[in-house]
Structures are given as C-alpha cells and as structure tokens.
Amino acid sequence: MIDLRSDTLTKPTDAMRAAMARAEVGDDVYGEDPTVTALEERVAGMFGHEAALFTPTGSMANVLAVASVVAPGQEVLCESSAHIARAELGAHGAITGLTMRTWTAPRGQVDLAAIESMFAPDMGMYFVRTAAVSVENTHNFAGGAVLPLDDLRALRSWADTAGTKVHLDGARLWNAHVATGTPLADYGRVADVMAVCLSKGLGAPIGSLMVGSADAVLEARVRRKRMGGGMRQVGVLAAAGAYALDHHVERLADDHAHARLIGEALGLDPASVDTNIVVVDRPDAAAFVARAAEAGVRISAVGPRAVRLVTHLDVTRADAERAASVLASL
Ligand SMILES: *Cc1c(COP(=O)(O)O)cnc(C)c1O
C-alpha cells in the first residue's frame, strides 16, 4: 500500500528516534527544558521574530497566533478554503470568540482588492472590526500552492497602512521555501504572527510552533496552559523537530518532484504542481478514492469533487512512479 493521504503519516526515522533518546529534558512549564527552549529560540531566529512557542499541533499554534492579534468580537479575513476556516473544527470561533469573513481566489491566493473591499476599521457601534488578515503558504486545499513573496509584501504594506495585522499559517512554509528559494526570514517579515509545523513534510511525530513578538508569545504561553497544552519533559519531542530541521528541509525537493510526476501522469500541467500536494477535480471523488485504495494507493477526498494526494518522506521515487501509473490507469 502506498499511502498518499497526507504528509502527517510519516514515521520518525531511526536517526530521529536516536536524537529523541539523547535529548536533555526538564519541566517545560517551569521553562526548564533546554531542548524545547533551544528549538523555540532557533525557530524564532529563522523567521527574524523575537520568540516562539512549542505546541502539540498546528491547530493549537494557529489558535494561539490568531488570538494574539484578534480579540473576541473582532474578525479575521482569510481565503475561503483556508485551514483555519475549514479544518480546525471552528476552534477560532469556539475558543477565541472571533468571527471570520472570507474571500475566494483560485489557488488560494492573496486577493488584495477583495481584502481591501472587506476591510472594516474600527467603526464604533455597528461593524465588526477587522483585526487581522490570515494567509496560508503553502495553501493546503489549493493543492500545495505557493503564495508569491511579492503578493505577501503587498499585503504587508497595505496592512501597515490600514492598521491591521497579518497572520501566516505556515504549516508547510518549509515547502514554499524549498520550492522558491525564498529565505525563511523574508516570509517572517511579512507576518506579525505565524504558525509552522514540524510534523508534516519534515517528518517529526508531533510538534508545531507559534512565532511572534515576545509579548504575543508570553500571552500565548498562558493561553496554551489554559487550554491544557502545558507540557513537561517534552524535549524528547522538540529533539525530533530539531533533527527534522537539520536533516529534512532540503529533501522536500524530492517530494515536490514526486508530486509533479504524479500530477503529470494525471494530465495536470506540471507547472501547476508547486510543492508536495496534488488536488484533482473528480466528480466522483469518494468512489475514485475507494477504487484507488483497492488498487493499492491511498488518497483522500477533500470535497465532493476534489481528491488530494500528498507526497512525503516515506514515499520513494519508485512508490511515486507506481502510484502515478495506478492512478492514471484508473
Ligand atoms: C496540518 C495543517 C495545520 C495544523 O494541523 P494539525 O493537524 O493541527 O497539526 C494548519 N494549517 C495547515 C495549512 C495544515 O495543513
């Protein structure tokens, strides 16, 4: 069975497990786990931000990041198929008490004209205030699409003028970095707060980080504990993330090549496959997924007529070639 349902399916390698076993640990709620602290400082530095906070999931990192810039009763604008809107089970509304309005753009891109037309500054008694705009890079449900740096910079400068904040869901920002060669710090500069995941293509078993100012991270540390996310000798997990940053970033290029190979076999323009995700329009998505599984390739339906497949660390070139031929024949 070749499993292309998600890049979260990767299992820690032997070398990663050895790094976990060696990790120095302490009680992180006391701020005394040196491996966690080092990872937080390292990741904050990579993006040119002051601080970062290790979280069990990307969803928690996103909730903490968005809540640091959007208060209850305020709104965040995002693209209509954004992970924060579709795939976090309403956490931002249920936990933070914010509202969302969305724009819809092909490939999940930044539509500055739409954002400008929706934007609501503080208008007193009548309108919900837009406190932040959220963007997702790469964009998961848009097929791993990269948001061009120029568009992000235009959003940043508009947001500064308008007086609103920018949140970046960078669960797969590493993929955008490898696909385009854009320095991570350039992505960091366009965002006030961000979330990045170690447990997607990077292959760690668990772990994400919220990244932002020292004040925002301090506040998020309190909220994380309130949500039950204060963790103790968690350096064993942070060590897996540090190992992934050392060894699994550049190799994402292989995943991208594998995804392009499969996309091409399915008749897509290979130039439309930016990174490690391929989304194909199929009117019979659920039935197609079932037939693929029978033929030995697991993929997922992400909408009534959308199937998604994701390449990752545990998918070899030979696996990708076999998946391409199986899926093309179906
Ligand atoms: C996976 C993902 C997250 C976080 O997911 P968790 O499963 O909670 O770790 C956030 N944003 C995007 C775009 C994702 O793909």
- Give me the residue spans of the domains in the chain: 2-8+250-329, 12-247
The Cα 288–Cα 290 span in angstroms is: 5
Q: What number of CA atoms fall less than 13 Å from residue 237's CA on the CB side?
A: 19
| Architecture of the domain whose range is 2-8+250-329 | Alpha-Beta Complex (3.90)
Mean pLDDT on 26-35: 98
Gap from CA of 58 to ligand 1 centroid (Å): 5
Site to probe by mutation for ligand 1, drawn from 200, 206, 237 as the one with most ligand atoms within 8 Å of Cβ, is 200
The Cα 220–Cα 207 span in angstroms is: 16
Mean pLDDT on 229-244: 98
pLDDT of residue 270: 86
Lay out the sheet containing 130-136: strands in order across: 51-55, 208-212, 193-197, 165-170, 130-136, 75-79, 99-103
Residue-wise pLDDT tens digits, 272-299: 999 999 999 999 999 999 999 999 999 9
Q: Same fold for the domain at 2-8+250-329 and the one at 12-247?
A: no
Gap from CA of 223 to ligand 1 centroid (Å): 19
| Architecture of the domain whose range is 12-247 | 3-Layer(aba) Sandwich (3.40)
Per-residue tokens: 40:
């937080």
Q: Which residues contact 209 (CB under 8 A, 6 or more apart)?
A: 39, 40, 43, 52, 53, 54, 55, 61, 195, 196, 198
pLDDT at 213 over 90: yes
pLDDT at 123 over 90: no
pLDDT at 323 over 90: yes
Query: Which atom belonging to ligand 1 lies closest to the Cα atom of 138?
Result: 13
Mean pLDDT on 111-125: 93
